[in-house]
Structure 1
Amino acid sequence: MKHSLQNIILEIHNKEDKMSSQNKRLIDETYDMTLYLQDLLFSVKKLVINDGFNNDSEEINFFRIIKPQILGKLIYYNKVYRIETSCPVSNGKMYVSYFTTQLANLKREYIEHICNSDFYRYYRSGRTDRDHIYFKRGNINYHDGLNSIVFEIDPDFSTFYDYKIARIIANELLYSYLLTKINPDEDPDMILQKSESAKDVFWTDSKNALIELVYALHASGVISHGKIGIRKISLMFQILFRIPLGDLHHSFHRMKTRAGSRTAFLDQLKISLEEYMDKDL
């Protein structure tokens, strides 16, 4: 295929970073990302149908990793756009109630259609022994009692299970987004208001760099013996540096799949510290 895994995922990440830097309204950003991902999915579909795959490994890789990344984020951005444009108010009890209901709906869908399936456990465990069945076209087993969406998919561009992974990815992103919406302590405006006394302390690197640091501290368990959640650690940094970090989980998901080093900021920290140490030698 003409598009490699890294190129496609990197292209999506670059587009997301560009959108974030433009400080658009969330409604405008999600609408633009929905159109962009829809066009990308269409162009990739043409490549798959016209050029095919060089071998089974390439086909499995595409339907397990590449396509779910595109489709999962397409589902996510489209859903966020629908939620935001249907929101009745901009704050208050009705606002919190609206997003709490959306979160309850998401959890119910997760329980009914995702978490109890054999495939979900297979995917979450990181197994690959059945990839040749799940991620090669033409292997759909209707005896399994599959969701009716299987009758609507294009068999030349889906194995059905790539769609299921896309839903898992979308649901994870939506979960983080909705939690942020119903937790007033994580509202960017509230964070900036609380940090008036620290105007001279501010973060001068990218938001992704700070998120990388936050996750590293959380993963190492060095704050409160590891008993403090990622969101509380994030909130402390947001208040200290007067910077809203937005959807942490979404940003972390992009970090895990980005090209090159997944810990670019931490790598640079190590280099900077060693160079600083060498100055005294």
Structure 2
Amino acid sequence: MKKEYKNILLSIEKEEINVSRSKDSAINEAHHMISFLRKLLTDLKTEILLKGFESVADEICFFKHVKPEILGRLIYYNKILKIETLSPTNSEYHACFYTGQLKLLNKEYKKYISNSEFYKYYRSGRTDRDETYFRLGNINVFDGLDSFFFEVDPDFSTFYDFKIARVIGFDLLHTYLSSHGARPEIENSDSLELNEDAQFSWTDSKNALIELIYALHISRSVSNGKAGLRKISQMFEDIFEVSLGDIHHAFHQMKFRAGQKARYLHFLRNSLEQYMDKEF
């Protein structure tokens, strides 16, 4: 990625940091970032329509990595604006409200994004069809497009840049809702049967424990990585006196689920940071 594009992404990060330090309301922060991002996108559009791209690689990079980051955050802050204006004034109901919003988000994600072939292409890190997906003028209307495509500017959109932006926006929103007390909906197949006689009980979901096990294994945090995945899993099964079953199959399903990939780890981080920020 060329330096100019890196500086653009860095400017967004700096602006978000400055806004978060202002300790303003979430609504005002969202308003500010929406204005900032819209101007940034407009300026980029003017420049690109005037000068074009330096190369095919430059064009692909812009529509695959740069524009989606900007547009994805626009989607994210716009949704925050809508959510926060509906948020109950009584803090007692916040967790329930955000959990409800998270459920709606996951349903929308599954319906419009996670089941598509392009989503699998993007998440897998493939590049073999980049010239089709991320170059202007390559859209085949016979593929069956979302209706909104006919309203976008064909000189500044490949259609698939918006699809990535939507994924980015949903991932950011998932983290935001989780940090405000929302908990992922736990399906029956993801629950563990508690042993009431056990000294320690795992009271979160099975997938949450599997996430933790994989994170410890991949990060080499147990025995400098010498302990195998199965041994770490067995250790937790022994501690909590539960059966996790086929953790490899469960992990594979988690890789393609809607929203944030490592939900439980993000929840742990957000919970700890909120606790650290409390004034005692």
Q: TM-score band, normalised by the shorter chain?
A: 0.5 to 0.7
Measured at CA, do residues 237 and 34 of structure 1 come closer, stay the same or move farther in structure 2, by a change above 3 Å?
closer
Aligned residue for 2:38? 38
Amino acid at match of 2:132: I
Q: CA deviation at 1:77?
A: 0.8
How big is the shift at 1:218? Answer: 9.5
CA distance in 1, matches of 2:50, 2:108: 36
Distance 2:169 2:267 in 1: 20
| In 1, Cα distance between equivalents of 2:179 and 2:160 | 29
Aligned position for 1:66: 66
Aligned to 2:53: 53
Q: Distance in 1 between matches of 2:222 and 2:35?
A: 41
Alignment TM-score, normalising by the size of structure 2: 0.68
Equivalent-residue separation in structure 1 for 2:217 and 2:50 (angstroms)? 46
Could you say which residue in structure 1 is the equivalent of 2:265? 229
**Does the 8 Å contact 2:178/2:267 carry over to 1?**
no
**Superimposed CA distance per residue, residues 116-148 of structure 1 (whole angstroms, 9 cap, x where no aligned partner):** 111000000100010000000001111111111
- Deviation of 1:88 (Å): 2.9
- Give distance in 2, aligned partners of 1:64 and 1:102: 28
CA shift digits 1:14-68 (9 cap, x unpaired): 1111112222121111110111101111111101111111111111110000000
| Corresponding residue of 1:171 | 170
- Matches for 1:1-281 after TM superposition, within 5 Å: 4-93=4-93, 95-183=94-182, 220=219, 222=221, 229-232=265-268, 235-236=271-272, 239=275, 242-243=276-277
Q: % of aligned pairs identical? A: 44
In structure 2, give the amino acid aligned to 1:123.
Y
How far apart are residue 102 of structure 1 and its match? 1.4
User: Structure 2 unaligned runs (5+)?
Assistant: 184-214, 224-231, 237-263
| Matching residue's letter, 1:30 | A
Q: 1:114 to 1:183 in 2, by over 3 A?
A: closer
Q: How much has 1:221 moved relative to structure 2?
A: 5.5
Q: For the Cα contact (< 8 Å) 1:140–1:159, is it kept in 2?
A: yes
23 and 142 in structure 1: CA distance in 2 versus 1, 3 angstrom threshold = same
Q: Do the aligned partners of residues 233 and 104 (structure 1) sit closer, same or farther apart at CA in structure 2, a change above 3 Å counting?
A: closer
Name structure 1 gaps, 5 residues minimum.
185-215, 245-281
TM-score under structure 1 normalisation? 0.68
Structure 1 residue 237 displacement after superposition? 5.8
In structure 2, the CA distance between the partners of 1:18 and 1:159, relative to structure 1 (3 Å rule), is same
* 1:156 to partner: Cα distance: 0.3
Q: Distance in 1 between matches of 2:150 and 2:114?
A: 22
1:130-181: per-residue Cα shift (whole Å, max 9, x none)?
0000000001111111111111110000000000000000000011111222
Cα offsets for 1:52-89 (capped at 9, x unmatched): 11111111110000000100001101110111012132
The total of aligned residue pairs comes to 209
Corresponding position of 2:251: none
- Work out the CA distance in 2 between the residues paired with 1:237 and 1:218: 23
**Which whole-Å CA distance do the structure 2 matches of 1:233 and 1:136 have between them?**
38
Relative to structure 1, the CA distance from residue 102 to residue 66 in structure 2 (aligned partners, 3 Å threshold; closer, same or farther) is same
SS state at 2:122 partner? helix
